[in-house]
Amino acid sequence: MDTIFAELAACAARPLRYASEWKQATGRKVIGSFPMNFPGELGHAAGALPLILQESEEAITVGHGLIYPFYCGFTRSLVDQAAKGDFSLLDGILFGDHCVQLLGAADAIRMQLPQTRVIFYQLISSMNDPWTHGRAMESFAGLRREMEELAGHPVDDDALRASIKLFNENRQLIRRIYELRKEGKAGLSSRQMQSIVKSSMIMDKAQHNALLRRLLQQLEARTTPATADVRLHLSGHFCQAPKPELLDMIESCGATVVGDDLYHGFRYISTDVREDDGDPIDALAEWYMARNTRVPCPTRVQNNVDWDGFLINAVKNERAQGVIVLMAKFCEPHMYYYPEVKEAFERHAVPHLLIETEHESMALEGLKTRVETFVEVVKRRYAA
Amino acid sequence: MQTQVPQQKKANKLASTKLGGKLVNDYWEMVFRAREQGKLVCWYEGSAINPFLQAADICWVHGEAYSALLAARHQEVTAQKAAEERGYQRELCSYARTHLGCAITNLRNPVPPDAPFVSMAEDKYLSSRLPPPDMIISAYAYCSTGQQWDEMTSRVFGKKVPIFNVSLPWIWAQKPDAGYLKGQEWEETSAYVARQLNDMVKFIEQQTGKPYPWDRLRELMGQVKRASELRLESMALCSRRPAPASFFDWVASIAPINHLPVGPEIVDYFQAVKTEVEQRAARGEGAIHKEKYRLFFDGIMNWNKVGWLAEKFAQYDAAVIAGRYTHMAFWQEPGLIDPQDPVLGMAQNYLVCPNNHSAPILIGQILKLCEQYEVDGMVLHASRTCRAFTNPQFLIADAASKRLGIQTSTFEGDVTDESFYKDELVNSRVEAMLEAIDARRARAA
């Protein structure tokens, strides 16, 4: 198992190096995309490696000559990486999303990389209009044409269906690990869980599936001792991965994370694409809408689903005793929705703690005091 | 002892813009009385869909307009505090934070029955006065914040208010045929938005229970078109030296073109403005008494500091002549509007909001304005919580400097949260920019 995690963690820690080595080994193209909704299946079916661009661990330097410091760390990091030339290996970059800060990053990156094909395909973000499905299909159909131009060959329906099947398998494998974690049978840290999901965003999918199958065999074969730790749900972070040291710190305070709705977590794997002989573009559009119904995202608007309601149900389903909300500083969608979530937790007596996270250093010792206190509060509440 | 600014260093504001003050007050009084008069109330932000609502005799409430009004009157704090108490963070769009604060105070601290509205200047309950909505229409170009703001407003009101979303795509303009107002992407996007506006009209019919009065909309759009033409003609006169009106005069004229009731009054308003600008141009009277520098203002307005900034730049003998917020917004393409069949032209004007083209096109339009008005420098307002406007600013400043040789300077502020404004930074940076302009002139001489 250690070898598997070493491989997953190495990929997660150095995504661009993995992509570069893959490109050299295969001679094929690498398409970088922004989160959250690009169907990697399309890039895969075109024969490319679809890579979800990640926040770098490096301090932001030249990027601050292109974007203000009062933007979320993720957009600043991406602009910084582009400005430093880190994205030179990419054959194309895709942006599809609606978040205004990502749009600013898209503009800055396109100006920095005039030789790189930068594709924008704005997905409709209003999720339950009569035209939502049709518009999503138009966007994905347009994207497919772009992939074909990039690849230099058609991307036919059979190839796309095969990619969908592969990606679905990947999501199902990771969801099985999530089930084991919820049942207390995984014995994995949050850092390890993150490396599983994050490496899926980067690695060749067939390679990742093979690693996951081996990992699951070992996880299901072993016995994990029960723990008296406080069971927590982690919520937030719709684009970038929470820093692993933050996750380590939370767990060091006597907590076990039993579920999450992070992008580098359950959001990424929650929903499969329909597999049948029908139109795969139609299936992808359906997937795009179903994902938000399954795990509502504040970056979309959908009046008939409630993220706060989802969280309360998730807490019950996971038998979580509390929630730590991780809010990336300057993340507007989260800032908008947080009061609803907070009030829902209060109405349902769910203990919760808000931690604002930053790209730059965080005062972990100060945060640790807050988490330790929170864990104590939860323990006392459950003992009472 | 307070230092008096000499008259010759004060901003020479257009007298005609004062006419707008009464129009603004009358409009908000109409809003405050809407419920008494049995009108349906629609809350909206962003795109100027108000003619659609006015035609249907629905009372329209533009969220940013109210937040800006409160900030300009320094009465925004009550609403902003209410929002923060609920858990909205200060880094959130302050337009939204102020407006959501109004929604919250409306629900939690309604106006006492014994406190009828008297006047804007005297009222203590402005943050509670907005009538709650009967419907919400979201039509916000470029900025995800706007759409999310409307959705959260709906949730503040318990999701009991029907909401309609018009999606306005960003013009990315990557294809070879793309350009300002042209190209396949432009044509298709315009048609997509127009279709949604027609569906929006059906939504309005469902709310009112009446057929939509298209003739009334056509009439109103004829007046919008004329008002817009007069406004643009007035602005164009400011390419003269000295510029007879300033960016701050155009800011004061936003309300009439953006959200005040459409009618002969707004046409008369802009005719009065144009007449005054023409008269000033004829006698060589400027927006400031001594025009030594001509500047472009990029970014959204800092509503807490409108007058303050107007006077500041006047003291520097700097005429701020044009800006992205005033000159690339608010029905600025009246030629696209066919009053007899207005929907497509309205859709296209919503799509050319000052942020909704990607940087290459946006920068092209801005530099054209800089050349038209022969500016020496550009001031960029880095509005802390309005990232829609700040997104391309580094790119704009770089292009202005490299392609036109203009000096640029950035200052920090915000749309309606005064705590983000840093006055000493404005002073030192603007002074440095003006010194750089002087040095460049000396070299050229």
- Could you give the ipTM of this predicted complex? 0.94
Which of A103, A131, A329 is closest, CB to CB, to B142? Answer: A103
**3-state class of B229 per DSSP?**
helix
Task: Write out the residue range of the structural domain in which residue B308 sits.
Answer: 9-444
The pairing of strands B41-46 and A352-357 is: unpaired
In a domain, B3, yes or no: no
Which of A135, A301, A343 is closest, CB to CB, to B147? Answer: A301
Q: How far is CA B144 from CA B42, B197, B330, B415, in A?
A: 20, 19, 19, 17
Task: Tell me if chain A has a CB within 8 Å of the CB of B175.
Answer: no
pLDDT band for position A361 (50/70/90)?
confident
At residue B8, the pLDDT reads 67
Which of A107, A337, A343 is closest, CB to CB, to B152? Answer: A337
In contact, B72 and B416? CB cutoff 8 Å: no
> What are the chain B neighbours of A70 within 8 Å (beta carbons)?
91, 384-385, 387
Region B251-258: mean pLDDT is: 97
Q: Amino acid letter at B332?
A: Q
Q: Which of B92, B86, B101, B100 is nearest to B153 (CA)?
A: B100
At residue B1, the pLDDT reads 39
pLDDT band for position B104 (50/70/90)?
very high
In contact, B234 and B245? CB cutoff 8 Å: yes
Q: How far is CA B376 from CA A8, A151, B9, in A?
A: 55, 47, 20
How far apart, in whole angstroms, are the C-alpha atoms of residue B292 and residue A5? 67
Q: Please name the residue of chain B whose CA is at the shortest distance from the CA of residue A308.
A: B155
In a domain, B324, yes or no: yes
> What are the chain B neighbours of A298 within 8 Å (beta carbons)?
148
% of chain A surpassing 90 pLDDT: 92
Task: Tell me if chain A has a CB within 8 Å of the CB of B144.
Answer: yes
Q: Which of B72, B247, B61 is nearest to B150 (CA)?
A: B61
Which of B167, B385, B391 is closest, CB to CB, to A107? Answer: B391
At residue A81, the pLDDT reads 97
**Phi, psi dihedrals of residue B203, rounded to the nearest 5°:** -60, -45
In a domain, B4, yes or no: no
Q: Max Cα separation, chain B?
A: 70
pLDDT band for position B3 (50/70/90)?
low
Cα distance between the two ends of chain B: 41
pTM over 0.80: yes
Helix (H) or strand (E) run with residue B298 in it: strand B293-298
Question: What domain count does chain B have?
Answer: 1
Q: Could you tell me which residues are beta bridge partners of residue A234? A: A260, A324
Q: What is the DSSP string of A84-101?
A: TTGGGG-SEEEE----HH
Would you call B144 and A104 a contact, using CB atoms and an 8 Å cutoff? no
In a domain, B397, yes or no: yes
Region B197-226: mean pLDDT is: 98
In contact, A30 and A41? CB cutoff 8 Å: no
How far apart, in whole angstroms, are the C-alpha atoms of residue B200 and residue B217? 14
Interface of A with B (CB under 8 A): 65-68, 70-71, 98-101, 103-104, 106-108, 110-111, 118-120, 122, 124-126, 129-131, 135, 298-299, 301, 303, 329-330, 332-333, 335-340, 342-343
Would you call A111 and B142 a contact, using CB atoms and an 8 Å cutoff? no
In contact, B227 and B256? CB cutoff 8 Å: yes
In a domain, B226, yes or no: yes
